[in-house]
Amino acid sequence: MLKQTLTKFLVINGVQAAIIVEENGEIIESIKSGIVIDKKKLYSIISTIMVDSKATASRFGSSPLSMVFVEYSDNFIILGPMAEEFYLVIIAKNTANIGQITYEMKKNQEEIVSDL
């Protein structure tokens, strides 16, 4: 079920991967298209972003982390909380529409949470 829901993101132009991770960086489910990333590397990247960003956000008032967005000249990665301890990570080409992706993240949040 979760994989099916994640497939909705791959339909978006430029999206190459949709991944559900736990707070510790462990990958729960992932779906990829047109991208090859070493699993260890991916785990390392996601856990670094997640751990560091949560720590950074805690210094930013008492606010929880809403979303992290890291862009490079070719690709970008978005990480957003879905439910307590669970995050959705999207990897996309830089040509992808960020607004559309974040909209779909919010729109599918409930469904993802129910699939978890």
Partner 1 sequence: MIEQLPDGNSIGWMQAPPQWIFTHTVRFVGIVRIVIQDGEGFILIRRGKPVYYFFKHGRIELKGHSALDYFNSHPIIEFNLCKYSPEEFALAMKICNIEGEDPQGQTESPKVAPPEPVREPVPSTPTPVAESEVSELLLEEIPPRPLFHPAEPRVEEPATIPQPIMLEESDIKLIGQIKKLNGVVAISVFNDERNILLMGDVDIEPLLNIARSMLATSRKISPQVEWGSFVHMTLQSPEGNIIIAPYYDVYLCLFTTRTINIGHIRRILRDLQLTKRTQD
Please identify which residue in 1, 48, 106, 110 interacts with partner 1, judged by CB under 8 A. 48
Q: Hey, is 46 helix, strand or coil?
A: helix
Q: Does 67 bind partner 1 (CB under 8 A)?
A: yes
* Residue (33 or 44) nearer to partner 1, CB: 44
Q: Which is nearer to partner 1, 3 or 13 (CB)?
A: 13
Please report how many Cα atoms fall inside a 13 Å half-sphere around the Cα of residue 5, on the Cβ side.
Answer: 20
- Written as one letter, the residue type at 33 is S
Under the criterion CB under 8 A, does residue 39 sit at the interface with partner 1? no
Enumerate the β-bridge partners of residue 91: 17, 77
Backbone angles phi, psi at 61, to 5 degrees: 65, -150
We find the least distance from the C-beta atom of residue 76 to partner 1, in angstroms, to be 8
